[in-house]
Chain A
Amino acid sequence: MKLTVWTYEGPPHVGAMRVATGMRDLHYVLHAPQGDTYADLLFTMIERRDHRPPVTYTTFQARDLGADTANLFKTAAQGAYDRFQPQAIIVGASCTAELIQDDPGGMAETMGLPIPTIPLELPSYQRKENFGADETFFQIVKTLARPMERTKQITANLIGPTALGFRHRDDIQEVTALLSDMGISVNVVAPMTSSPQDISKMGAAHFNVLMYPETAESAARWMEQELDQPYTKTVPIGVGATRDFINEVAKITGKDAYLDTSRLRLPWYSKSVDSTYLTGKRVFLFGDGTHVLAAARIAQDEMGFEVVGMGCYNREMARPVRAKAREMGIEATITDDYLEVERVIEALQPEMILGTQMERHIGKRLGIPCAVISAPVHVQDFPARYSPQMGIEGANVIFDTWVHPLVMGLEEHLLHMFREDFEFHDAAGPSHHGGHAPKPEDGGGPAPQPAASPRSLSGKMNEGSVIWLADAEKELKKIPFFVRGKARRNTEVFASERGVAEISVDTLYEAKAHYAR
């Protein structure tokens, strides 16, 4: 039993729903009690889908448990087939149905429906949403895809995008354009946009583009084995990764590497002098493994940030994330415990967080700017405008998104200069963020408030053995809020390393000199 407040991933059957909802003409018969229908709103509200997810819930109740839940399942499956006339059906159980052991897969197979019926085994008490999506897509591909004659022209399947994915809608368009520029067309995009009939034609492509390892790696491996289709290992998020991706595709296909950079703005924007202030900004990265790995490279190599911490919530990606962290000389945080992530961020005091919606809230509490780079998604992660993460436009979008939460370069200097000004002080926050200024600290000094909230749940209290003298504390408050956390932490580390028990103004400036870059 594990106490959980917030979760990064839903249960595995929600992963299966993401696959089914992304597809067309597929239906999911889910053995589940009525309450599990809440999952529909994830798609209709967060993603603003204009159709109900293609899911029939058997809706068993307590009074059915002693009686005949199995028959209920069969009625629901038959009803779903009759009403929706899908090309294929996937069947499975949610967490509660798993406990009553009705074997929906076995029952569906005996019903003799005239369409492929694909049973799913998704262990709800061991695995989570991403596993559910990956396993479901794998089972669908395994059942429906067969080796077949290749298309005459070189074609690729784009695999991994699902409903409720972080910018999947726009990434498809961007990757399609990258390939098109090299003279490669797309055979099937799956699971999103495809029907079971499309899946059966996946074997015609020459290779697969694995867009999101979280949701399609098992399928990619199976197709490599059974359909003799190589798949790309580079996820084209960021300038360098997009270039690597193009080279990888060239190698697989024998085509010339070609990348149209006429619309690529990140390199110049990053190089232009106004971006100097980005140099060495201390950032913390957290999200799903794929997006964090991509963000680590962009942060370090393309934005000139210093990555002070990184991690992911999906254990399936722990190995590459740990390896990348080691390469950067830091330790990876692999956890799905939101409170632990908060503790790490609090201890590291980064100047910016690149995380999920959960870290955005952590940032709000700690007064640290945050940009969102990964699922779990929020309604805000489905902007009306074209907003990919991959390819050329993805790099441009990332530059804008990451810079937006920060106080801009010249403004940062002005805040230093006029830090006593009653209007133009740092607590006003970045001037381009209208109503979202951090709250002032009690006792005058402007600063964001580190709220006390669920830290009380985390139990860990401040060990603080170093004391700040009043003068030093006052001086600290003169430092703009967006670097104050770092200054406080550096000074405390500096003091405790030297056995200094009390921090004076001198200690503060000695520490500043020590850490000067």
Chain B
Amino acid sequence: MTELPRLPTAGGCRETPILKQRGQREVFCGLTGIIWLHRKMQDAFFLVIGSRTCAHLLQSAAGVMIFAEPRFGTAILEETDLAGLADAQDELDKVVDELLARRPDIKQLFLVGSCPSEVIKLDLAKAAERMTQRHAPSVRVLNFSGSGIETTFTQGEDACLASMVPVLPKTDDRQLLLVGALPDVVEEQAIGLLEAMGIGPIKVLPAPRADSDLAVGPNTVYALTQPFLGDTHDALTRRGARHLPAPFPFGEEGTTQWLAAIAAEFGVSPDLFDQVTAAPSARARKAIAQAAEALNGKSIFFFPDSQLEIPLARFLTRECGMDAIEVGAPFIHKGIVGPDLDLLAEGPTISEGQDVDLQLDRAKTAKPDLTVCGLGLANPLEAEGLATKWAIELVFTPVHFYEQAGDLAGLFSRPIRRADLLKLEATE
């Protein structure tokens, strides 16, 4: 079996006290996840029940307008819905009937709660139940909340996946479930590696289509591919499935450890494991080394955004030679990122939640070589001379597993290389 990771000699960050501040946040709400989820589930439609703000967010979140075949939309609440002049449930039925009549290709409909729908206590669970009966068997209707009063950015995907777990059929078969929405190419790589070790059957949540044979039960073990899937983790545990905790598959080390945790569960021999992973892990190390040249010895500061911060800090400090100053995450679930915290050497401030003004003060004082933050902060920080990496790209780009490890390092080295490249002064 592969060598065990070198644990930090001075101890990891699992027991480091977490800095918690309460103030203004600068983060997306969970609705943003729809932008990638609707591409992943090709027969699903996401109907946000919300305000014009929600519709505007979905249109603006990616920084560009994605007009191609939208499989999401917003049922905008109007004055009459709020004043009780119209029964919101009846109105919702009308909108959904209209939508399903026009889009017979839809097999799964997600009713997505928003801040306004939560505040007026619109019962979307009841609506989903009623609609499922009405449109069965052709359409399954589920609900989850992507509201900004309850969810932060990637928690929207968590809420969506968690909503699917209770309705999965039961199975007693021994199987591996990979959990998290990944780009297809990355997902296929992971499955390829695991199958080469003789592990199977392998299922994926979310499945690309509603009519897949996805089921769950007491003989299911599951590995998370994303660190923000806390509720999904709990929902799967309630169905009797067992979690395989591991560092997340970012970078060579993360990928190897993640695969190793699964391999151990399935009794894969060390020889076979090495045989399968040797070539891709060597490629990953080589690719990372190239990109890491620009990162070595540089400092990094994470603003909370996607919950990927802790695993990424682990990757950047251990494999790219960076120094972490602060690692901020919107939410820290130690049951999930614990193995990454163990590997992250003590030193950086670990912060959860945010008071953005105070955090900006800390960043400006620390003057990190690279700041990872959301789109609202990136250009203002660049204008102050701080190189930034906008965090949303980490969620939209294939960055998991061996073959993308170099690309992942490249996402961080590019802003630093670019700052060195641009020369706008006179030659003298």
Interface residues of A (CB under 8 A from B): 1-7, 9-11, 13-14, 33-42, 44-46, 48-52, 56-62, 65, 76, 79, 83, 94-96, 99-100, 123-126, 128, 357-358, 361, 378-379, 453-454, 456-459
Chain A residues in 8 Å Cβ range of B376: 37-38, 40-41, 44, 52
Nearest CB in chain A to that of B330: its residue: A34
User: In the complex the two chains form, what is the Cα distance from A96 to B77 in whole Å?
Assistant: 11
Chain A residues in 8 Å Cβ range of B91: 1
- Determine, out of B5-13, B113-121, B247-255, the stretch whose residues face the partner at the interface: B113-121
User: In the complex the two chains form, what is the Cα distance from A308 to B152 in whole Å?
Assistant: 47
Nearest CB in chain B to that of A123: its residue: B79
User: In the complex the two chains form, what is the Cα distance from A60 to B31 in whole Å?
Assistant: 17
Chain B residues in 8 Å Cβ range of A48: 379
- Determine, out of B59-67, B173-181, B281-289, the stretch whose residues face the partner at the interface: B59-67
**Contact: A37 with B27, CB < 8 Å?**
yes
How far, in Å, is B220 (CB) from chain A's closest CB? 31
In the complex, whether B166 has a CB less than 8 A from a CB of chain A is no
**Contact: A6 with B67, CB < 8 Å?**
yes
| A95-B56 contact in complex given A1-B92, A4-B76, A50-B380, C-beta closer than 8 Å | no
| A57-B150 contact in complex given A2-B76, A3-B73, A95-B116, C-beta closer than 8 Å | no
Chain B residues in 8 Å Cβ range of A379: 63-64
**Contact: A1 with B25, CB < 8 Å?**
no
User: In the complex the two chains form, what is the Cα distance from A240 to B127 in whole Å?
Assistant: 57
How far, in Å, is A516 (CB) from chain B's closest CB? 37
User: In the complex the two chains form, what is the Cα distance from A60 to B148 in whole Å?
Assistant: 9
Contact of A65 among B28, B60, B148, B149 (CB under 8 A): B149
Sample (27) of A-B pairs whose CB atoms are under 8 Å apart: A3-B73, A3-B75, A4-B75, A5-B70, A5-B74, A6-B59, A11-B51, A36-B148, A37-B25, A38-B61, A44-B375, A44-B376, A50-B380, A52-B376, A52-B377, A52-B380, A56-B24, A62-B150, A94-B53, A96-B119, A124-B51, A124-B52, A357-B65, A456-B103, A457-B73, A457-B99, A457-B103
**Contact: A454 with B69, CB < 8 Å?**
yes
How far, in Å, is B295 (CB) from chain A's closest CB? 25
Contact of B149 among A52, A56, A61, A126 (CB under 8 A): A61
Chain B residues in 8 Å Cβ range of A458: 102
Most chain B CB within a 10 A radius of its CB, from A11, A41, A65, A124: A41
User: In the complex the two chains form, what is the Cα distance from A45 to B377 in whole Å?
Assistant: 9
Chain B residues in 8 Å Cβ range of A35: 27-31, 57, 115, 147-149
Nearest CB in chain A to that of B360: its residue: A52
**Contact: A59 with B53, CB < 8 Å?**
no
| A3-B59 contact in complex given A10-B53, A37-B25, C-beta closer than 8 Å | no
**Contact: A99 with B102, CB < 8 Å?**
no
Which positions 75-94 of chain B face chain A at CB distance < 8 Å?
A: 75-79, 81-82, 86, 88, 91-92, 94
Contact of A49 among B65, B86, B374, B379 (CB under 8 A): B379
Chain A residues in 8 Å Cβ range of B65: 6, 357-358, 361, 378
Chain A residues in 8 Å Cβ range of B53: 10-11, 13-14, 36, 94-96, 124
**Contact: B79 with A126, CB < 8 Å?**
yes
User: In the complex the two chains form, what is the Cα distance from A397 to B24 in whole Å?
Assistant: 42
How far, in Å, is B68 (CB) from chain A's closest CB? 6
In the complex, besides A49-B380, A457-B70, 20 extra interface pairs with C-beta distance below 8 angstroms are A1-B88, A4-B75, A10-B56, A33-B115, A33-B148, A33-B149, A34-B27, A34-B152, A36-B29, A36-B148, A37-B24, A37-B28, A38-B29, A40-B26, A61-B149, A62-B147, A76-B23, A96-B115, A125-B78, A459-B101
Chain A residues in 8 Å Cβ range of B380: 44, 49-52
Query: Which 4 pairs between the two chains have the least Cβ-Cβ distance?
Result: A35-B148, A35-B29, A40-B376, A50-B383
In the complex, whether B378 has a CB less than 8 A from a CB of chain A is yes
Chain A residues in 8 Å Cβ range of B116: 95-96, 99
How far, in Å, is B231 (CB) from chain A's closest CB? 14
In the complex, whether B293 has a CB less than 8 A from a CB of chain A is no
In the complex, whether B357 has a CB less than 8 A from a CB of chain A is yes
In the complex, whether B268 has a CB less than 8 A from a CB of chain A is no
Most chain A CB within a 10 A radius of its CB, from B28, B88, B98, B378: B28
Most chain B CB within a 10 A radius of its CB, from A4, A46, A358: A4
User: In the complex the two chains form, what is the Cα distance from A56 to B116 in whole Å?
Assistant: 20
**Contact: A1 with B23, CB < 8 Å?**
no
In the complex, whether B55 has a CB less than 8 A from a CB of chain A is yes
Nearest CB in chain B to that of A459: its residue: B102
| A4-B115 contact in complex given A38-B60, A45-B63, C-beta closer than 8 Å | no
How far, in Å, is B69 (CB) from chain A's closest CB? 4
Nearest CB in chain B to that of A96: its residue: B115
Nearest CB in chain A to that of B357: its residue: A83
Most chain B CB within a 10 A radius of its CB, from A7, A9, A56, A76: A7
Nearest CB in chain A to that of B31: its residue: A35
How far, in Å, is B159 (CB) from chain A's closest CB? 13
In the complex, whether B168 has a CB less than 8 A from a CB of chain A is no
Chain B residues in 8 Å Cβ range of A3: 47, 73-76, 95, 98-99
User: Contact string, B376-389, partner A, CB cutoff 8 A, digits 1/0?
Assistant: 11111011000000
User: In the complex the two chains form, what is the Cα distance from A405 to B47 in whole Å?
Assistant: 36
User: In the complex the two chains form, what is the Cα distance from A123 to B77 in whole Å?
Assistant: 12
**Contact: B56 with A11, CB < 8 Å?**
yes
Chain A residues in 8 Å Cβ range of B382: 50
User: In the complex the two chains form, what is the Cα distance from A6 to B54 in whole Å?
Assistant: 11
| A34-B148 contact in complex given A45-B379, A83-B357, A456-B102, C-beta closer than 8 Å | yes
Which positions 106-126 of chain B face chain A at CB distance < 8 Å?
A: 115-116, 118-120
User: In the complex the two chains form, what is the Cα distance from A94 to B374 in whole Å?
Assistant: 21
How far, in Å, is B149 (CB) from chain A's closest CB? 4
| A57-B78 contact in complex given A33-B29, A52-B377, C-beta closer than 8 Å | no
Most chain A CB within a 10 A radius of its CB, from B68, B118, B377, B379: B379
**Contact: A7 with B77, CB < 8 Å?**
no
User: In the complex the two chains form, what is the Cα distance from A83 to B31 in whole Å?
Assistant: 31
Chain A residues in 8 Å Cβ range of B49: 1
How far, in Å, is B29 (CB) from chain A's closest CB? 3
Contact of A62 among B60, B67, B149 (CB under 8 A): B149
Chain B residues in 8 Å Cβ range of A40: 26, 375-377
Chain B residues in 8 Å Cβ range of A6: 55, 59, 65, 67, 70
**Contact: B24 with A1, CB < 8 Å?**
no
How far, in Å, is B156 (CB) from chain A's closest CB? 10
Chain A residues in 8 Å Cβ range of B148: 33-36, 96
Chain A residues in 8 Å Cβ range of B377: 40, 44, 52
Chain A residues in 8 Å Cβ range of B374: 41
Chain B residues in 8 Å Cβ range of A58: 24
User: In the complex the two chains form, what is the Cα distance from A57 to B23 in whole Å?
Assistant: 9
Chain B residues in 8 Å Cβ range of A7: 52, 55-56, 59
How far, in Å, is A110 (CB) from chain B's closest CB? 22
Chain A residues in 8 Å Cβ range of B119: 65, 96, 99-100
Chain B residues in 8 Å Cβ range of A62: 118, 147, 149-150
User: In the complex the two chains form, what is the Cα distance from A76 to B32 in whole Å?
Assistant: 25
**Contact: A14 with B56, CB < 8 Å?**
yes
How far, in Å, is B132 (CB) from chain A's closest CB? 20
Which positions 143-159 of chain B face chain A at CB distance < 8 Å?
A: 147-150, 152
Chain A residues in 8 Å Cβ range of B152: 34
User: In the complex the two chains form, what is the Cα distance from A36 to B376 in whole Å?
Assistant: 11
Nearest CB in chain A to that of B150: its residue: A62
Chain A residues in 8 Å Cβ range of B31: 35
**Contact: A79 with B23, CB < 8 Å?**
yes
**Contact: A4 with B51, CB < 8 Å?**
no
**Contact: B379 with A38, CB < 8 Å?**
no
How far, in Å, is A158 (CB) from chain B's closest CB? 26
**Contact: A4 with B27, CB < 8 Å?**
no
**Contact: B23 with A59, CB < 8 Å?**
yes
**Contact: A95 with B51, CB < 8 Å?**
yes
User: In the complex the two chains form, what is the Cα distance from A279 to B307 in whole Å?
Assistant: 58
**Contact: A38 with B383, CB < 8 Å?**
no
How far, in Å, is B147 (CB) from chain A's closest CB? 7
**Contact: A5 with B78, CB < 8 Å?**
no
How far, in Å, is A272 (CB) from chain B's closest CB? 36
